[in-house]
Each structure stands twice: as C-alpha cells, then as structure tokens.
Amino acid sequence: MVTIRTHKIADQLGSLGEFIASQRRAAQLSLRQLAAQTGISNPYLSQIERGVRKPSAEVLQQLAKALRISAETLYVRAGILDPDDHPATSVEMAVLADTAITERQKGVLIDVYTSFVKENERNATNGQTQKSTMQPASEKE
C-alpha cells in the first residue's frame, strides 16, 4: 500500500508542478523572473515544476501571489487541502480558461467575483435579503 500512496503523491506533485509551469508560461514569466518575484531560488523552482520537490504552504503562497492565482488552488493541487472542501467554481474555471484576456485581468475578475460571493455569504448570515442597489441608466433620471 505504501507504494500506491507514494505514486499518488508523485502524481499530485507532477500535476502541481505542471500546473505552476503552465501558469508561469501563461503569465509570460521566465523561470528566473518568477524565482526573483517570489524569492525562491531558480533551481528549487525548477525542481517544483518538474515534480521533484514538494513545496511548503509558504512557498505555494508566494507562488500564488506572484502568479495572481488563489493560494487555495495550489493547496488543493498539492494535497494540503481537501478538494471536496474547496471546490473551484465554474465561474473561476471559465475565467481561467479564457484565452481572450490577460492573466492580470483574470486575477481581477476572480477577485471581484470572490468579493461578491463573500458579501452575499455575509448578508445571508446576517439575515439580510439580497437587493440590487444598481439601477439601469434609464431609471436614474
């Protein structure tokens, strides 16, 4: 059984490294540029991308910040968080998959969406009903 577990961990790390590498390329960053932005050594980052090393939660957080993606996404891919407890929303997946916008724009859209979701959760726990405060331009006159 230990062998099966080891393979699963190796598969997860490979998947994590591949994901980080694809996000880096999508952000149009070289390995050296990402290493400089995160304070992670170039060889260590290369090992993470190749699935040779398992990064700590702190390193994943630095990578997420530099790549402008959710740290939770990296934690789930690394096996730190349970994917059932932290599912990616279809909105987030659609934004990340969109090739018509830049990585920076994707990050902004996801941040705005996440803030709306959190606001609605706060309102729901406070017993407030959801009402739109925005009016169409034709009604403002």
Q: What is the pLDDT of residues 29-60, one digit of tens each?
A: 999 999 999 999 999 999 999 999 999 999 99
Mean pLDDT of 114-135: 73
Q: Rounded CA gap, 107 and 77, in Å?
A: 18
Average pLDDT, the chain: 78
User: Residues 83, 84, 86, CA angle at the centre, nearest 5°?
Assistant: 60
Note the pLDDT of residue 136: 55
Q: Rounded CA gap, 103 and 15, in Å?
A: 20
**Numbers of helices and strands, H then E, in the chain:** 7, 0
Q: Rounded CA gap, 121 and 104, in Å?
A: 26
Note the pLDDT of residue 121: 85
Give percent of the chain with pLDDT exceeding 70: 76
Note the pLDDT of residue 108: 84
Mean pLDDT of 67-79: 85
Note the pLDDT of residue 14: 52
**Is the pLDDT confidence value at 107 over 90?**
no
Q: Rounded CA gap, 91 and 137, in Å?
A: 27
Give percent of the chain with pLDDT exceeding 90: 30
Note the pLDDT of residue 29: 93
User: Residues 31, 35, 40, CA angle at the centre, nearest 5°?
Assistant: 135
Note the pLDDT of residue 27: 86
**Is the pLDDT confidence value at 110 over 70?**
yes
Tell whether pTM > 0.85: no
